A = this chain, B = another copy of it.
Amino acid sequence: MGVEASNQHAEQALEYELVDEILPLNEAVAQAEVIVMAVPVNVQVNLLPQILDMVTNQIVMDMGSTKSDVIEAVQHHPNRGRYVATHPMWGTEYSGPKAAVRGAFEGKAVILCNRKDSDADAVEWVENMYQKIGMRIVDMEAKAHDLHVAYVSHISHITSFALANTVLEKEKVESAIFQIASAGFESTVRLAKSNPEMWVPIFLQNKVNILDVLTEHIDQLTKFKDYITNSDKENLQSLISDANKINRIIK
């Protein structure tokens, strides 16, 4: 059963057989055993308490990219235990039912946050489900989650958006870049196609961590700028050799 605010997405979800039927929220919650929330994080902080008001013994889980605010929003809810906070580390720059990719989560990490605040049976069901689709489960407290995802996800989106705007702003002759844009460029700007409805709320909810990383990132770019300005080979060489150490983290 699906619940969907957009008529177009509701139709697509039926057409792709992602759901058998589209229902109003209260009917779907009443009939469901497990409720999976996949909504922008600003919607989630308002919607999760409403859903927890409705549940009796159902399990509620989410897919949100930030965790502190939503967990705080239900911290004292009598049905808090039915909610399991999760964040599967997979996504693309596309959204909506058309963006679904079969088997996408296989081999990927999923973060479970503050598991001690969830009922044991709910956590067990969610863990089993994620393991059955081949995901690696990583436990984190919400605060640590929000810090780490600022580094491994949120900042990448900001640099990509900013890079796209840089190029679009300066390159008035689009046909030139269109003709010669290569794989390196595509890989650094593809995230710039991501949906603002999803990303603005993430940037605002994770503001403190993101500003910390973004300030550091601007400082790092300013080092490049200064060393290039001064034709300082040695320091450029060191900056790049330092950056090469990222191969300890990504293959």
A177-205 CB mask vs B (1 if < 8 Å, else 0) is 11111111111111111101001100110
Note all chain B residues with C-beta closer than 8 A to A245.
164, 168
Interface of A is mostly: helix
A176 at the interface (CB under 8 A from B): yes
Query: Within 8 Å CB of A215, what residues of B?
Result: 225
**Which residues in chain A, 51-91, are within 8 Å of chain B measured between CB atoms?**
89-91
CB pair A180 B148 closer than 8 Å: yes
Q: How far is the CA of A167 from the CA of B196 in the complex (A)?
A: 24
Contact B225 A204 (CB under 8 A): no
Pair B196/A241 contact, Cβ less than 8 Å: yes
Contact at B188–A159, with CB atoms within 8 Å?
yes
Instruction: Verify B168–A247 contact, CB threshold 8 A.
Output: no
Q: How far is the CA of A237 from the CA of B140 in the complex (A)?
A: 30
Inter-chain contact A190/B187, CB cutoff 8 Å:
yes
Cα distance A214–B162 when bound, in Å? Answer: 11
**Chain B positions within 8 Å of A136 at CB level:** 179
What residues on B are CB-neighbors of A179 within 8 Å?
109, 136, 138
Bound-state CA distance A157–B193 (Å) is 19
When A109-B180, A193-B247, A211-B228 are in contact, do A152 and B221 touch as well, CB less than 8 Å? no
Task: Say whether A161 faces chain B, with CB atoms less than 8 Å apart.
Answer: yes
List B contacts of A224 (CB < 8 A). Answer: 158, 161-162, 203, 214
